[in-house]
Amino acid sequence: MKHRWLGVIAAAAALMVAAVAPSAASAVVTPGVQTYTEGAQCTANFVFRDGSNTYIGQAAHCSGTGAATDTNGCTAGTLPLGTPVEVRGGTRPGTLAYSSWNTMQSRGETDPDACAYNDFALVRLDPADAATVDPTVPGFGGPTGLGSSAGALGDDVYSYGNSSLRGGVTKLSPKKGVVVQSTGNGWSRTVYTVTPGVPGDSGSGFMGAGGEAIGTLSTLAIAPVPASNGVANLSKELAYARNQGGLGGLNLVNGTRPFNPDLVNAILGS
C-alpha cells in the first residue's frame, strides 16, 4: 500500500511562506526549495534546462486535484499546464510547464507501471530567477549527472527534504538511505532512510553514491518497510518527458560544487 503526499495544510503553508520569504536581493532557487501549487506543498528536486528555459522539478502529484489516495497518474485529477507555482527563493511565481500526469492522460497511456510511478513535473522559472538559480543540492553538493537507473538493491542513496513541517530546522533535511526493493518493472524503488520523508518532502531528489541524480520522491510506503519512501526512476521520467512530452532538448543541470556523501558534514553544513 502507499499514500500519495499531496498538499499540506494550504493556509498554514501560505502563512509560513509569507513569514519567511527571502528578499529579492537574497533570493536564490536551488534543489530542495519548497514549491506551492494552489496550496499543495512539495520539495523541488533538480534544475533542468531546455533551450532558453530553466526549470525546477517537482512531483506531478503536487498539482493533483483529487484525494491523497488518487495515485494513478493516468486517471487522477490534475491542474492544467500554465498554473502558477510559488517557488521559495524565487522573486516571482513559476509556471507549470510539464506534468507526466497531464501528458499520460492526453496520450491515453495504458502502461500500468507508467501510470502508477511516472510522477514528474517541471516548473518553468521566471527569467529573473533563472538568471540566479543555483543547481547545487544543499548539504551534499552535486548532482554530478543523470544516473542510468533508480539504484540497485543495497545501494546507498542521498536526499534533501525541506518540508515546512520541520519548522525550518534544516539540519533534519539531509538524508542517507538504502534501496530495499524494486517495483514497477524498474519504474520505482523502495528506499529506507533513517529519518524518513514527511508530507511536504514529495518530489525531492535522490542521488546515488557518486552524486548522480537517480530518482524523485513520490510516495510514503506502508509496506514492505514502514515509513519507507517510494522513489521514482528519474531516467525513465526524463525519457518520457523527452519522447512523449515534446521536451527533446531537456537536460539535467549539474551542481557547481563537488558531491560529498558525508552525512555528518551535510548536516553540519545545513
Domain parsing of the chain, residue ranges:
2-134
> CB of 102 within 8 A of CB of 91?
no
The whole-model pTM stands at 0.87
pLDDT per position as a tens digit, 166-211: 555 556 678 899 999 888 999 999 998 876 665 678 899 999 999 9
pLDDT(33) > 50: yes
Q: How far apart are CA 220 and CA 109, in angstroms?
A: 24
8-state DSSP, 43: E
Burial bucket for residue 94 (CB in 10 Å: 0-12, 13-18, 19+): buried
Q: How far apart are CA 249 and CA 244, in angstroms?
A: 12
| Burial 38-51, CB ≥16 within 10 A → b, else e | eebbbbbbbbbbbe
Radius of gyration of the chain (CA): 16
Pick the range with the lowest mean pLDDT from 8-22, 157-171, 210-224. 8-22
Q: How far apart are CA 87 and CA 261, in angstroms?
A: 27
> Cα dist. 10→16, 197, 199, 233 in Å?
10, 19, 12, 28
**Grid coordinates belonging to 239:** 525519457
Report the 10 Å Cβ neighbour count for 62. 30
Q: Which of 206, 218, 222, 215 is nearest to 259 (CA)?
A: 206
Q: How far apart are CA 218 and CA 188, in angstroms?
A: 9
Report the 10 Å Cβ neighbour count for 26. 9
Mean pLDDT for the chain overall:
84
End-to-end CA separation in angstroms for the chain: 33
| Band of residue 269 on the pLDDT scale cut at 50, 70, 90 | confident
How many residues make up the chain in this entry?
A: 270
